Amino acid sequence: MTKLITNQERILKAKDLIQQARELPFDPKAVFMDIGYVAKVKDLLRQAKDLVKFIPFSPSADSETKQITKDIFKQIEEAEKDLLHRS
């Protein structure tokens, strides 16, 4: 049987995954983005999103937790834009 993870633990793990995605090494001299880099970033951000996506629908989550979850969704979008849509 799997161990239940509290909302606060999910939020902390999601923030950690976003940070891991930001810390992945990137070569700015490369003409095209490395496929492996893109896959790793997308996977880490997907994992972060999957951890918190049901928190806003949870009756046990208070309004502060739901607001933090919305902020995490914004951080995920910003990280994706910053890391994958560079000009």
Is residue 11 one of the residues assigned to a domain? yes
Confidence of residue 2 (pLDDT cuts 50, 70, 90): confident
Residue 32's pLDDT is 66
Is residue 79 one of the residues assigned to a domain? yes
Residue 14's pLDDT is 97
* DSSP code, position 56: G
Is residue 2 one of the residues assigned to a domain? no
Tens digits of residue pLDDT in 27-64: 777 756 688 888 999 999 999 999 999 999 999 899 99
Is residue 60 one of the residues assigned to a domain? yes
Is residue 18 one of the residues assigned to a domain? yes
Q: Where are the alpha helices (DSSP H) in the chain?
A: 7-23, 35-52, 63-84
Q: Which residues, including other chains, have CB under 8 Å from residue 49's CB and lie 6 or more apart?
A: 14, 73, 76
Short-list 34, 14, 49, CA closest to 84: 34
Structure tokens that stand for 35 in this block: 């496929």
Count of structural domains within the chain: 1
Tens digits of residue pLDDT in 12-31: 999 999 999 999 988 777 75
Is residue 34 one of the residues assigned to a domain? yes
Asked if residue 7 has pLDDT above 90, the reply is yes
